[in-house]
Structure formats: C-alpha cells, structure tokens
Structure 1
Amino acid sequence: MNSPGADIISLFRNKAPVPLGPEFPPSLAAIGLPAVIENYAHELSESLQVPYEMVLCNFFGVLSAASQRKFCVQVKEGYCESLNLYLLSPLPPGERKSAVTQSVRKPLLHWEKEQEGKYGSLAQEAQSKRLTLERAIEHRRNQAARAKTAQARNAMWQEIQELEAELPEPVHVPRLLADDITPECLAQLMEQQGECLAVIEAEGGLFDTFAGRYSQMPNLDLILKAFSGEPCRVDRKHGQHIGLNHPLLTICVTTQPDVLRSMASNSVFRGRGFLARFLFFYGKSRLGFRLAEPPSVAAATEQAFSTKIESLLSLRSGTGDRPPQTLTLTPGAYEIWKDFFYGVEAQLRPGQRLEHLTDWAGKLPGQVVRLAGLLHLASSSSVDISLDSSVMQAAAALGNRLTGHALFAFHDMGCDEPSACARNALDWIKGRHVERFSLRDCQRAIRGRFPKKKQIQQGIGMLEEHGYIVSVPVPSSGPGRPPGPNYVVHPAVHAAASCSDGVPSQPTQRDTYCFATCVPVGAGEGGKPPFDPSFNAREKEAV
C-alpha cells in the first residue's frame, strides 16, 4: 500500500521541485585574462582559501583606483567610457574578506604612505599658517565692527585685505582611498583630490551612510553622478560651495549578502539606478573544504602585481585642462564590442533573458568597455593607446559571465517582482505549514507587499512551473461561476523546512525521496547552506 506522501507526490509526477530563480552563476576562471591578473588572483585565492571571484573583484577595484583619472576609452566618435567601476562581491561571514582586501590594497596604501612622507610636513605647515592668519583676520574684523569712524574701519579693512593676500594655498596630501565617509565629506575630499577617489572595503558601512544613517535621508546624488563623471554641485546652508566638474569614484565592497538584500528593500537604491551601476562577483564558498597549510603566493607573482599598480600610479593624472589619455579600439576590437552590444540588446526584448533587468543590462556594453580598458592596461608592458581584439574578446567573455552573476544577485535581492512574489508565497507556505490553499488564501496572506491579483497570479504561476505546487480542480457545488482551483503543496517543501535547522532552503531530490519512502532525513541534510551550490550535487551522490 502506498504511503500518503507517495500519493501526493504522484500529482507531481514523482519529480522534485526545481529551485526558484537562476542557477548559481558560472565561475569566472579560465577566461583568458592577462597573466598578472589571473596568476595573482589564483595564487591569492589558494593562499587564503577564498573564492577566486572575490579576489578578482578586489583586483579590478585596485586597478580601477590606480587608473581611473589617467585614461579613458573612446569607443567611437563622441562616445568615451571612463575606467572607474562599481563592484560588489557578496559573501557570508567567515570568508576572510578583510584578508583579501588588505592584501590587494597594499600597493595603494604603500603609495599613500609615500605621499604622506613627501607632503605631510608641507601640509601641516600651510595649515598652521592659515589658522594663525585666519585668527588675525577675525580679530581685525571684530575691531572694524567696533570702529566708531569710517576712517578707522577703512584702516581695518586694508589690514584684512593684506592678511588675506598672505594666506597660503592649502596643501593636501594625495590620497586614493576613503572609508566611512558622509556624502558631504566625500564631495569635499574629492575636490581636494582632483575629483577622484576610491572606496575598497570589506564591509558595507558606506551604503548605510548614504542611505541616511546620520541624516535619516538618502543622499545618492554624488555617488550616482561619480559613476559617469557628471558635474555635481554641493551647496549647503552653513557649508562651503563645492563644484565638481568631472568626479570619478571607484567602489569595491565585499559585503555580506544581507547588506545587499537590505539595499534592495530600499526603493531609493533600486529606483534611482544605484544597484544597476554595479558588477557582481559571486564565488563558491570554500568553507568546510579549506586547507590548514595552503601554498603561499609566489614572491614573483606578488611583485609583478605590485609593480603593475605602482607603474600606473606613477603616471600623471588628467586634471583641469589636461585631459586623461585616450585609449582607442582597433577595428577588430570595435567589431567584437558591437556584436556584444547587439547580443545584449536582443536579450532586453520582452520574453527574453534580461527583460526584467533592463536598468542593469542597459549599462553592460559600457561596463565591458571599462573592463577592456583595465585589462589592456594590465596586459601592456608599456602604455599602448590601441586596444586590440584579444583584450576586447576577454572583456566580452567576462561580461557574458557577469550577466549570470547579476541575474543571480537581483533574484537573491528579490528585485524581480514575479520571483519576489513567489518567494514570499513560499515563505508563507513554509511558515504556516500550508498543505492546500486557494488563490484568495495566498492573496490575503501576502497582500501587504503584493496588493494586486495579477502579481499573486504571477507568483503562484512561477511556483507551479517550478513544481512547488500543483493545481487541483474544485467541484462546483451549484449554479453560478465555478470556483477557482486549489493548490496542493509538494511534501518536500515541508520536509526541507522541518530538517534545515532554521536555515532557509530549497527542497532537493533527497527530500522527495525520503518523504515518499517515509525514510527520515538526518538533521541538516535537507537544507542547502547559503551560497554553496555544490551541496546539492554532493547530496545527490549520497542518494
């Protein structure tokens, strides 16, 4: 006699549910990147036992910080791309994110230390002199305000003008990096540093600050405009006017996935295109499989990386009337980029892969140009202004794979409305242990976020397509409109929820097998550890 579980599973043709959303994105290894990038990224990832993609993300951040003001790429007449990037590598705690960031930033920090030794005393001397003269000027102003005659006031004004003429120009120690900084301070610091700065960090505190940690009001204007170098004017009631003509900012953050999800829940971040400016780098977690005595990074590999960054930092930056050096595409490279552009454009059409990701994908061809420019600088022993087809081919291949990473990222953030509705409905089913329900039941449960019936229908349809539920007809009890169908939940959904020790999980083939045969599942075996897609493969082998 068949068990009740087996009878229910027969409604699903004895198949397990298919996980919602895209598969875990493909590895970024074996693309054919320049040796200085590929060798260092592989060796550092092995040395620290971390995902290769996280190291690669940080490497691009450092490369961008070193060259963003010095070069731009001209794709065609009237169209140029700068070389700054916004990068995110989301990984859970315990993945040694700080160790990666500290290792990769070494050349930048070494350069900053050199500049401090060269200009630090000059900056301190100029500041001291300015403070003294400003105090003297303030004293003269007070005297002028108390003067009883115009002649006395004019004498004070004359002295004030002479003192103001003696004020030395501020000397700012050159910097590349910022950390926990407010939007107003970022604008001021960028003005001091040639309108160019980078944030390369292992935590996402910057996002909390710009979301309104101190002001309770999101302030994204500068961070949005600094992606493409748009002019930005900052005027505050009690502050100094700051005018930035061509600000460029590099952001590289290896934050925790929860930070990314909280950003997605803020309508300002997604609605104003903030998240659409980022490239996402996901890597498979190595937790549970790490070596206690991994190989170290070869001295020659680390030296080659440091030398490349130092050589870029030694070049003059484009500021004021001195524009950045322009890299141009060879005819072959332009044809490869054009083919890539048309390929992305086709995927933006209704029903295609990127139809729900137009804000991010619309910027992808330009992002590929930026990646190509950085790859070109990393691969050239000397500065060559012609960017060839091999470099563009590698950048296009990287762009194609990063598309999968972006699809995974936006799905994980719940920015795709049908997927978000399906996930909310699935959470309700698991949380209330629902085994059978109607469309109206589901609508009542999650209508706070999805008030429209069409939204619920899309979410329920996605759950049905992925095998989480199956519709069963409800017999009519009399005249009038026939009732809508009910939905039966796959037993594996609750089997996974009951044995995952509180870890959200997608049901697996093993859950289906164990429920149908009434075999209990061991603690944790039905769950999927976050960001470890290889777990399901190992689980199937066990079955």
Structure 2
Amino acid sequence: MTQTAHRPGASDSRPAADRPTINTSSHDTAEPIVGDPFDLPSDTGVGAGEDVDPGPRAAQWHVGEHLADLWGMLGSVALTAALGAQGAALVNEAYRRVGQPLPETLHEAEMIPVEAVIDMGRDVPTLEEVVQWCERNDRREPRAVYEDALRDKKVRDDRAEREREEARKAQDRAKKYADDPAAAVRALFPGPPLALTAGELPPFPVGALPSPYCDMVRAVATFTQTDPGMAGMTMLGTLAAATQRCVDIEVRHGWSEPLSLFVVTVAEPSERKSSVFDQVSQPLRDAEDALVLETEDRRVEKETLRDIATAQAADAKKVATKAATNGDAGAAGLRDDAVRLAKEAAEIRLPPIPRLIADDITAEALGAKLFEHGERLAVMASEGGIFATMAGRYNSGVPNIDVYLKGYSGDACRVDRMSGGRSEKLTRPALTLVLAVQPVILESATANTLFVRSGLMARTMIALPPSRLGRRDSNPPTVDAFLAADYHQAVETLTRTLSRAYFADGKVGSLKMSEGANRRRESLSASIEPRLGKTGDFTESGMNEWAGKHVGRVCRIAGLLHLAEHGPEGVDRPVGVKTFTDAERIGEYATAHTAAAFAQAGSADVAGAEEVLRVLRKFVGEHRRYTFPQREIRNHLPRSMRQVGAVDAPLALLERLNWVIVETVRRPHGGTPSVTVTLNPDGIA
C-alpha cells in the first residue's frame, strides 16, 4: 500500500457544497477536538491536546500518519460510534486537506479497525494503552485487539520486505542483463516452453528395445501404417504382463519396484488400435493357454489330495464327536486328531489357474480375479471403457479404484469375493494396465478429480503418437514370418519360464542393478528433484506427482528391457548401464507425451492459445519487448476471442506450459487492476 505524506495546508479546490461529507447522524455527539489534529509531532504521534478522549485521539494519530491512504487502510469497515462526530469531522477535514473525494460508504461502517484504534505513528502501542482505550469504549477484548495489531503489522512488514526484495532482484536482473533484455526475461521462467500440441513431441525411441522387439515394433508400425509409439508402448505393457509378480527390481536396499506398468496410448477412431494390440499381445495370450494346460495335471493332483484330506478330516470329526458324546476316555486325543486333519486339508492350496489378460472388468470382479489367479493380471483393451468402469458405470456412479492403485504399487489390500460374500486378502497384487483410447476418453479421465488426486493418473504413462490418417500406404508390406516367429517365441518363453520358476511356487525373483546403473539412477533423481519445487517446471505444468514417481518408473522399464534382452536367465545378472540409459530414453518420451496430454486435458483451448501466441510473436517483432497489456492482445485476436474472459483459459494453458507469465498489476490509488502478459523469449521461433 502506497503512503502519501501529509501536506499541511492543502485545500480542496471544489466548492464546499460539492465536497462529500460523512453522515454523522447516527453518531453520538462529543466535545470539540482540542487543537489542530493535523499538526502532530512525528516523534510521538500525540496531538496538541493531551487530554483528548482516546476515540478521537486514535483517529488523530491515524490520519496524521496515513492521511492520503485512510480509506485504503480502513477498508469497508472503518469507523464506529466511539469516534463520534469528532472522528467524522476529523476524517472530513483530512480528505479536504489532501484534495481527495471522500468514500461514499465510510459512514456506513459499524466496526472499528485495529489501525484506527492503535496505529499511533509508531510500531505498535503498548498493551496498557490498548486496554485503556478498550475500557473507555466498552470493548471487552483488548488482548485480541492488541494481537491483531501485532499480526497486521507483521503482515505489512512482510509485504514491504517482499516488495523491497522483488525490487532488488529486478535491479540486479537489469544490471546483469543490461545488454541482453531477452536473457533478463528468460530468467523469469522456470524453463523452456513445453510442447503445446502433439506434433511437436519426440518420437518413440525404438532403438531402446532389444532385438527382436525393436524389429517387431517397426514391422507392426509399417504394416498397420501407425506411428511406432503405439506398438512400442503396447509392447512395454506386454512385457510387464509377462514378468509381473514373477520378478521385481531392487533399486537399492529397502527399495524394490514391481515390474507392473500403466500405459495409455491415445489415437483417433480408425487408427487401427485393435490391429496393433492383437499383433503385439498375441504371444502373451498363447502363453496363457499353454500355462493353463501345464498346470492342469498339477491342479487335478492337488484337488484330489485336498478332497482326500477333507474326507479324512470329516471322518475324524464324526469319530471325535461320538466319543465326546459318549464320554469316552480317548475323546480328547480324537478331538486333537480331527483338528490336525482339518488344518492339513485347509493348507492344501490349489495352484492358481493362470490368467494373464482381462478386458473390460469391474473393480470388484478385478479384485476377485486377482485372488483367484495368483494376484497378477493385465487389463489390456484397445478401447477406453475401463475408465468409465472405474468411475462407477456399473456401480451406481460410485467410483472404485483402490484395487488399481494397490495393484500398481504391489501393496496389500482386501477384496470381496464375487460369490459367498467372503473378503480375501491380496498380499502383493501385480496389475498392469494397457489401453488405447480416443482423445475424448483421455480428456474425461484427466479431468476426473478423483483419478488425479488419488494418484491414478500419476501412475500412468501416456503416449500421443501422431496420426497417419490421410497419408497411409494402401498396400504396406506384411510382418516378416520369421521375425514374427522369433518375437512370438521370445515373449512366450519369457512368460512361461518365469511363471514355472517363480509364480507357480509363490516366489518372486529379484533383479539387481550394477554400480554404473545405480549411478545413472542417482543422477536422474538429482536432475528431477529441483524440478519438483514450487517454481519447478513439473510443478508449474501440474506434473509434480507424476514426476515424483518417474525414477521408480524408469527402474521398472529398465528391468523389463533387461529381461527382454537376456530372457529368464537375466534374473541372475545385474541390470547394466546401457539398459538403464535406454530406459531413460523411453522415460523422456513418456514425460514429454504425458506432459502434453495433461496440458491438453479438456482443452479446446489449444487453438486459442495458438492465436494468443501469434499475436504475441507479432508484437515482439514490432515493439522489441516481451510484455504487453492483455487488453491490447485481446484487441488483435479474432472477434470471437475479444469478449472479457475469452482469453483466460488459453492464457492459463500457456502459463502452465511456460510460454507466458500473466501478472495482475494493481494501481497505486485503486481502480481496476491491469493484466500484463510476458512471452518467454524461447517461444518466439
């Protein structure tokens, strides 16, 4: 708040009849004020009359120090009847002397503010002075008034200190960048602008995948005439489904990550999502069928043993019951035998029926299937109906995503059986989610408050592969049969071998990381951490929670790439530096695409943002500066965007992506604030 010095003797040039006055009809009358209240000694803040009543005296102190800013300090609740006619006359005179119009609502106030009571021209009055004033004016909370004064003074002091600090920084920037104005503006931004549209996003790093996986991605992309990102991200999800709940990766002592992934690829209708899904995931479906056949004999054996044990326990129970009824001497021993046999029967567990893939499934059914099939499952679908299911489509609109959150992290949870009403515990569930959805489905998911705040979207990698519609070859080469066979064998062998070695016996293998890979991981973590702060680009773009899980996500990808390259034998060797570096490349791809997806969520504002950028770039070229009033920008936009508020959403999108800084500038003496927009110099090209 700007303060204007007292100008003794200043007069209002308007006729007396035209000057506003405070309506004092509702105030009690009081004795005239002693002396001129505006001739106040600056060292004490006390007026000429030492015996003046504290009400008017407080007002004298106040206007003597803050004459021109009286209304700004007092706000909408200013004076009270305690000041009486004297206070009203004093304020009228204050405004007359500085030549400012009197606020029309000043007389309507009913409460007396702290500033009007105790701002006596020095920091804060003593508690004794406040108590004395409150007693004379029938106020019963002097300590609260005093504490308010201290708090308000601290607020003002802090604000003033911040303003001084900002001014100092501005001066430092001006000196540092005197010869380079663009660098001075660039220093205001936390980083370069993020991609506004999918067309500016990086391509999928196909070379990060080992052979034959990389070759299969290229072949499928060529045959389906789709971007390699669609097949590449689907393949990562396929590898996660093949290895989860069999192997984890130990990042460091006490920190392990399961190999589950949540992957969402976004594509328009007719983009051949189903064809890509079928060709990439078919080996996994075949492996599932083979595992069912492999475990069938073992299930029959275990089921038979359990039936025999159950029958023996039932017979023992009958004998023990009869002995107890008849009071036989050996009843206690028979009872113990019955209990032992019942426990032995209950401990015979049937091997889970292997189930690797599910499609559209409710959360309740998913929990039951996880329990029934050994706590691992992959929900893979070339449509996005699963998001509607999560949001409660089959549950009266009540969302249920807990099993998804726990399944990604491997945390224990309880689920209800579909029949019998029993509740079962999942000790370390493993759930992978691989979806290909239309943009409208993604928009609804990223706009869902529960999905975002619960961390569901923070667990999800999103790919926005560019469309090839209108540019597709009508007769592309098919996938080479030998390549398809190699890929099929690699996926099926990895799935079946790990299932037999670990999953069938309820064990989980552990991948280790080499020293070099751990150094890369530490470097990645160190580079991400500053970007998670209040002014970091991840925070500014709404990616904070997602980025907070990024290191663990990259470690999961590294584990998948390692097993893809070395097969089941890779469990016995550490993850190397090259593998981790390749995982980082995929992580960078996922980061850029997910950030763009978050920015575009629900955003028909991209077109408006591009119009705003067009105007800003034109202005910079014409005026050789980077900051412009929003009003001036709006006047040069298409007519549909010139209405008040029409540019708010596009500007908010640009600000989240580091393209602009929008700042509200308040005028020193009130009035409507002005809004300025500063363009990031890196966004000019």
TM range (shorter): 0.5 to 0.7
Change (3 A) 1:353 1:114: same
Write the distance in 1 (CA, Å) between the matches of 2:652 and 2:520: 38
Deviation larger for 317-326 or 114-123:
114-123
TM-score for the superposition, normalised by structure 2: 0.54
Instruction: Choose the corresponding residue for 2:642, options 433, 436, 451.
Output: 436
Aligned-residue offset at 1:33: 2.6
Q: Which residue of 2 aligns with 1:337?
A: 521
Q: Deviations over 1:297-326 (max 9, x none)?
A: 112221221111112112244459753111
Aligned-residue offset at 1:32: 3.5
SS in structure 1 at match of 2:357: coil
Contact 1:436–1:486, Cα closer than 8 Å, also in 2: no
TM-score for the superposition, normalised by structure 1: 0.68
1:126-525 superposed matches below 5 A: 173-215=353-395, 216-235=397-416, 239-317=421-499, 318-319=502-503, 322-355=506-539, 356-380=542-566, 382-383=569-570, 384-414=572-602, 433-434=639-640, 436-437=642-643, 441-442=644-645, 459=652, 462=655, 481-484=670-673
Write the distance in 2 (CA, Å) between the matches of 1:362 and 1:480: 44
Contact 1:45–1:52, Cα closer than 8 Å, also in 2: yes
Contact 1:464–1:470, Cα closer than 8 Å, also in 2: no
Write the distance in 2 (CA, Å) between the matches of 1:407 and 1:197: 28
Q: Which residue of 1 aligns with 2:196?
A: 21
Q: Deviations over 1:29-82 (max 9, x none)?
A: 354331222111011100111110000011111111111122111111111111
Q: Deviations over 1:144-177 (max 9, x none)?
A: xxxxxx99xxxxxx9xx99999999767532111
Change (3 A) 1:95 1:431: farther
Write the distance in 2 (CA, Å) between the matches of 1:230 and 1:166: 29
Contact 2:464–2:593, Cα closer than 8 Å, also in 1: yes
1:95 aligns with 2:271: yes
Q: Deviations over 1:416-435 (max 9, x none)?
A: xx999979x99xx9999545
Q: Deviations over 1:466-525 (max 9, x none)?
A: 699999x9xx9xx9744455999xxxxxxxxxxxxxxxxxxxx9xxxxxxxxxxxxxxxx
Letter in 2 for 1:398: I
Contact 2:554–2:584, Cα closer than 8 Å, also in 1: yes
Write the distance in 2 (CA, Å) between the matches of 1:115 and 1:321: 14
Write the distance in 2 (CA, Å) between the matches of 1:320 and 1:174: 9
Contact 1:71–1:326, Cα closer than 8 Å, also in 2: yes
Structure with greater contact order relative to length (CA < 8 Å, sep ≥ 6): 1
Contact 1:463–1:469, Cα closer than 8 Å, also in 2: no
Write the distance in 1 (CA, Å) between the matches of 2:272 and 2:303: 40
Write the distance in 1 (CA, Å) between the matches of 2:349 and 2:563: 35
Change (3 A) 1:461 1:36: closer
Change (3 A) 1:414 1:106: same
Letter in 2 for 1:179: D
Write the distance in 1 (CA, Å) between the matches of 2:519 and 2:342: 61
How much is the aligned-residue C-alpha RMSD, in angstroms?
Answer: 4.6
Write the distance in 1 (CA, Å) between the matches of 2:233 and 2:454: 24
Structure 2: gaps spanning 5 or more residues: 1-192, 311-324, 327-334, 614-633, 678-683
Change (3 A) 1:458 1:388: same
Write the distance in 1 (CA, Å) between the matches of 2:432 and 2:504: 20
Aligned-residue offset at 1:202: 0.2
SS in structure 1 at match of 2:408: coil
1:27-176 superposed matches below 5 A: 27-29=203-205, 31-117=207-293, 173-176=353-356
Equivalent pairs, count: 426
SS in structure 2 at match of 1:87: strand
Contact 2:609–2:650, Cα closer than 8 Å, also in 1: no
Structure 1: gaps spanning 5 or more residues: 1-17, 135-149, 152-157, 447-454, 489-508, 510-536, 538-543
Change (3 A) 1:218 1:385: same
Letter in 1 for 2:513: L
Contact 1:20–1:419, Cα closer than 8 Å, also in 2: no
| Higher gyration radius (CA) | 2
Deviation larger for 242-251 or 181-190:
181-190
Change (3 A) 1:434 1:335: same
Change (3 A) 1:39 1:460: closer
Deviation larger for 268-277 or 102-111:
102-111
Contact 1:279–1:406, Cα closer than 8 Å, also in 2: yes
Change (3 A) 1:192 1:301: same
Contact 1:421–1:459, Cα closer than 8 Å, also in 2: no
Write the distance in 2 (CA, Å) between the matches of 1:53 and 1:457: 28
Aligned-residue offset at 1:239: 1.3
